[in-house]
Structure 1
Amino acid sequence: MAAPRTDLDSTVDDDAPDAYRDLLGRYARVANLESGAGVLYWDQQVTMPEGGAPARGKQLAALSATTHEKLTNDAMADALDACEGIALDDERAANVREIRRRHERNRSLPEEVVEELTEQQSASQRVWREAKAEDDFDRFAPTLETLRDLHVERAEAIAPDRPAYEVMYEDGEPYLPLERLEEVFEELKAGLVPLIEAIEASGVDLPSPFVAAGPYDDATQRGLSEAVLDVLDYPEDRGRLDVSAHPFTSGNQFDARITTRFKPDDPMDAFTATVHEFGHASYELGLPDARFGEPLGASLSSGVHESQSRFWENHVARTEPFWEGFVGEANDHLGTDATAREAYAAVNQIYPDNLVRVEADELTYHLHIILRCEIDRAFVEGDVGVSEIPALWNEKMADYLGVVPDTDTDGCLQDIHWSSRFAAFQGYTIGSVLAAQLDHAMRADLGDDRVDDLIREGDFDPLWAWMTENVHRHGRRYPTDELVAEATGEPLTAEYFLDYVETKFGDLYDL
């Protein structure tokens, strides 16, 4: 582990003002309830029997209502007011700022809306899985429409004078304006579309020795996933690997669990998914133990979280130095004899005709995201009806990627996200952009050659330590723009991502 561990009870904030201690005690109950709900969600996706869904919805709804009441009640308001005018250092002031932001954002939201939305989200998970398995969008459509309406009702209760979609977006990205995100999207489209076209025109083929040797059973692929987690030093006492329909990470600095899924014909799909989720877990595990239950002990935003998964997936596990050190392990598990260069090329193939976002390559992935964001926003704002989504999806797939899915299972039903939230896909692209910027800053600090040597040798502690020092340990101390500036010395920019992909794929595809 990169970050030193301390006992949770060993750093009690004894010298804090009484009003501040009271506020944090109240907020800790909120955070602990939310953490408990997260375990129930993990169980629902991983181990809960199908028949448990109705009860689980009621359990999660009750927890949400209780959490909401404790966050927004008069006692919390009084505790916040009592901290006004008290001299606080920067970290304590950040805790108060974040608690107030959440309190004020949610105080006008009726408890019954919170409870109803949570129960509907839980029930929709099962409906989505069934609809996807049966390629039946009509089965999911009424649930999707109900969820949209409840999310809009929630957003309008929070901020009746602002567009509902922007309010929803701020759930995941409270400090990065939507307008800035749209500018990044335009920069990416301008840079990625011609790069993808040049790759397609190059005629270069990068066949995968791993695909050629398949298929692989689940046990073989699980063994490979466990092997890379061992190399990355994922701690057994604070994490676990399971299987779910859609890979995800759940937890905190004491218990950060990840899931993956297996594709028989391509073991690199599960491999990269496992490393990706490890990246999310590394963020949780890098948060300060002693701040558990405080905003300073929680992750900042969906985009910053995604930067950690994208860093480990793309800037570590998709690099040639990584495969120079790991290819032997992969060959042992898969029964192959790939060279490091062949493995490196295999995990960096560009295939614009791919239909599924989570299986997409590093470049076309962002066209998948832009497509979803455009449909997402049009649906929330009422410009597109639920029945129009499949056709619109296929139209945008043809426009952006030149391919149309034969089924809704591979089309508009492929993602789990709409069964719980809207205005959330942006974080994936923000994360990729920020990951490249952080990688550039890390290499400036540690040295290009040293970073490559560390990756080649499987010595990842210095990389994890750098991320912990510059990102993880701050929790929510800084708004996003300030955190990026603290870590990299400049505001968020797409420049480093575009430079990185042009250099890497220019080399791979002889551009």
Structure 2
Amino acid sequence: MNKGMRPREAYEWLLTHHKESAYLGSVRALLAWDQRTQIPPKGHAHRAQQVALLTKLLHQRATDPRIGEMLEILEGSEFTQEPTAPEAVNIREWRRAYEKARKIPERLAVELARTTAQAESAWEAARPQNDWAAFKPHLEKVLELTREVAEALGYEREPYDALLDGYEPGETTARLEPIFARLREALVDLLGRIQNAPRRPDTSVLHRHYPRSAQEAFAKAVAARIGYDFEAGRLDPTAHPFAIAIGPGDVRITTRYDENYFSGAFFGTIHEAGHAMYEQGLPAEHWGTPMGEPVSLGIHESQSRMWENMVGRSLGFWRYFFPEAQRHFEALKDVDLEAFHFAVNAVEPSLIRVEADEVTYNLHILLRFELELALLRGELEVADLPEAWNEKMRAYLGLTPPDYRDGVMQDVHWSAGLIGYFPTYTLGNLYAAQFFAKAQEELGDLEAMFAQGEFAPLLEWLREQIHRQGMRYHPRDLVRAVTGEEVSPEPLIRYLNAKFGALYEV
């Protein structure tokens, strides 16, 4: 113990220690971005070793016993008297992270990092070839190590809860199940009414020829207009779209293009820009500490889904951007604005989660959530995963994937070890609806603003209410602080019924 050390000295030590770790983490993030966008095929094996070494160093730093000693000096000191003050928040989250890190043996942390780096590379090679057999052993190894992580972290009821808490602090399977059940009921009802509606959109306009260069130019122009800072970021192609924060002034986004389909790359870009604008809005003066970090993946997803859907698929948004879209794409010259708006909001059960409409999207998440639970509980083996996947697709969406590529192998998450991550997507939709309703209440008619190209009021409201808060509040507390309400499926249900009820006249 550092006897005689004053709280201010202990806090400064922790601040320096964690900022240095954050720089190492930003190097790892840059390596991850490069591996998924630029690396030559023969570089993956060496990259796996680089990532493993960085992970080892970061784990050693995260479990340094001196962190515990400094925290003991600080806990109960003047630094923790005001729970939402930056210093108190940092101390609280440093303690939470330290306790979690200490439970994971260095061997396990390094092995998981190496295994997932290899598994992601294997997924990227195997998915285009529809080669489940090549990918399966990698997924089995990832699952084995993930189970070890859950056991090491500990849990009260479900191994899954140990993983879920890492992505959404404080969340549990038991708390999610009633919310998801209510949402499932409402979605099935709405989907049934839509499928029986006499009014249908003409989605063929989205499957015309959209040159890649024009798609990139238009998406960049729109992303910049809504608030993504290209002076602090960039857009690149990848196999599976993502946003990644390297550090202050460097938050990158990616997308994937299909010259015969408009929506995939465009809405994928806006989605990732929503993630990136959250990262760009975090308080730079707190970078490297919890007060400068996003609070959870669900809150993160609320930002991307809000910009993609509640903004990017609104009629007001397209009243402003459709003339520019027509200038970029010959394919849209003969298309009516309202017809285009209906087309980009078409509801149709589909195979691919990232291209799913707002009504069916959460059914994709429920499928994955239930499969992950079964895997962690030992009720399902990886070898049986493709058929289990197909059974749930048939039950929820009435579809059977024709291959592995657009079925069980479509997502990068499991290869990356991100088991417990998928529920945060549905939580993001729930949070987004609650935040958007509150913003509308406080700012006025948002869609009228969008029609005039005014996106700054919403972005600034989000910056103030959410982005600049860092990890001051855990997710459910943040929702309560911003909206005055508990987390609920009802605002999302109301939003979806109002929007799609009007479009489909049901």
TM-score, with normalisation over the residues of structure 2?
0.95
CA displacement at 1:209 relative to structure 2: 6.2
Counterpart selection for 1:25 from 6, 12, 16: 16
Could you tell me how far apart the structure 1 residues matched to 2:63 and 2:398 are? 48
Aligned runs of 1:3-402 on 2, under 5 Å? 17-88=8-79, 89=82, 90-159=85-154, 163-208=158-203, 210-211=205-206, 214-251=208-245, 252-335=247-330, 336-337=332-333, 338-352=335-349, 354-402=350-398
Q: Which amino acid in 1 is paired with 2:115?
A: Q
Cα pair 2:164 2:171 within 8 Å, conserved? no
> Does the 8 Å CA contact 2:15/2:289 hold for their aligned counterparts?
yes
Alignment of 1:456-475 (within 5 A): 456-475=451-470
Backbone CA RMSD of aligned residues: 1.5
Aligned residues: 493
Contact 1:484 1:492 in 2 (8 A): yes
**Structure 1 portions without partners, runs of 5+:** 1-14
Amino acid at match of 1:85: G
**What displacement does 1:162 show?**
5.6
Distance 1:16 1:463, change over 3 A: farther
In the aligned structure 2, how far is the partner of 1:87 from the partner of 1:173? 29
Instruction: Tell me the secondary structure at the aligned position of residue 32 of structure 1.
Output: helix
* Residue identity matched to 1:178: T
Alpha-carbon displacement from aligned partner over 1:354-399 (angstroms, at most 9, x marks no partner): 1111111111111111011111111122111111111111111100
Which residue number corresponds to residue 4 of structure 1?
none
Task: Using the TM superposition, give the Cα deviation of residue 493 of structure 1 relative to its aligned residue in structure 2, in angstroms.
Answer: 1.0
Amino acid at match of 1:61: A
Structure 2 letter corresponding to 1:231: R
Q: Choose 153-162 or 376-385, whichever is displaced more.
A: 153-162
- Higher deviation after alignment, 362-371 or 228-237: 228-237
Distance 2:243 2:252 in 1: 6
Three-state SS of the structure 1 residue aligned to 2:233 is coil
Q: Which segments of 5 or more consecutive residues in structure 2 lack a partner in the other structure?
A: 1-5
SS at match of 1:412: coil
DSSP 3-state at the match of 1:507? helix
Partner of 2:419: 422
CA distance in 2, matches of 1:460, 1:253: 23
Displacement of 1:139 in angstroms is 1.2
CA distance, structure 1, for counterparts of residue 396 and residue 493 of structure 2: 18
Aligned to 1:10: none
Shift of 1:264: 2.1
CA 1:20–1:432: 2 relative to 1, 3 Å: same
**Whole-Å separation in 1 of the counterparts to 2:483 and 2:98:** 31
Contact kept, 8 Å, 1:210 with 1:334, in 2: the verdict is: no
SS in 1 for 2:472: coil
- Verify the 8 A CA contact 1:238 1:255 in the aligned structure 2: yes
Q: Which moved more, 1:82-91 or 1:364-373?
A: 82-91
Does the residue aligned with 1:48 lie in a helix, a strand or coil? Answer: coil
Q: 1:16 to 1:273 in 2, by over 3 A?
A: farther
- 8 Å CA contact 2:282–2:470 kept in 1: the answer is yes
Cα distance, 1:203 vs. partner? 2.9
What letter corresponds to residue 290 of structure 1 in structure 2? Answer: E
**1: CA distance between counterparts of 2:231 and 2:374?**
44
Name the residue aligned to 2:3.
Answer: none
Find the aligned partners of 1:506 and 1:437 in 2 and give their Cα distance: 19
Preserved CA contact (<8 Å) 1:209 1:342: no
The question of whether the paired residues in 2 share the 8 Å contact of 1:253 and 1:286 is answered with no
Percent identical: 38
Give the secondary-structure state (helix, strand or coil) at the position aligned to 1:133. coil
> Could you tell me which amino acid in structure 2 is paired with residue 46 of structure 1?
T
Looking at structure 1, the residues matched to 39 and 29 of structure 2 have their Cα atoms a distance apart, in angstroms, of: 14
Aligned to 1:411: 407
User: Shift in Å at residue 343 of structure 1?
Assistant: 2.2
Q: Deviation digits for residues 463-510 of structure 1, max 9, x if unmatched?
A: 110001100001101111111111111111111100000000000001
| TM-score, normalised relative to structure 1 | 0.94
- How far the C-alpha of 1:181 sits from its partner, in A, is 1.8
User: Structure 1 residue aligned with 2:435, among 428, 435, 438?
Assistant: 438
For residues 429 and 163 of structure 1, what CA distance do their matches in structure 2 show? 20
Return 132-141 or 284-293, whichever deviates more: 132-141
Kindly tell me: are residues 365 and 161 of structure 1, through their superposed partners in 2, closer, same or farther at Cα, counting changes over 3 Å? Answer: closer
Opposite residue 96 of structure 2, the aligned amino acid is R
Distance 1:74 1:242 in 2: 41
Aligned to 1:5: none
| Conserved? CA contact 2:236–2:254, under 8 Å | yes
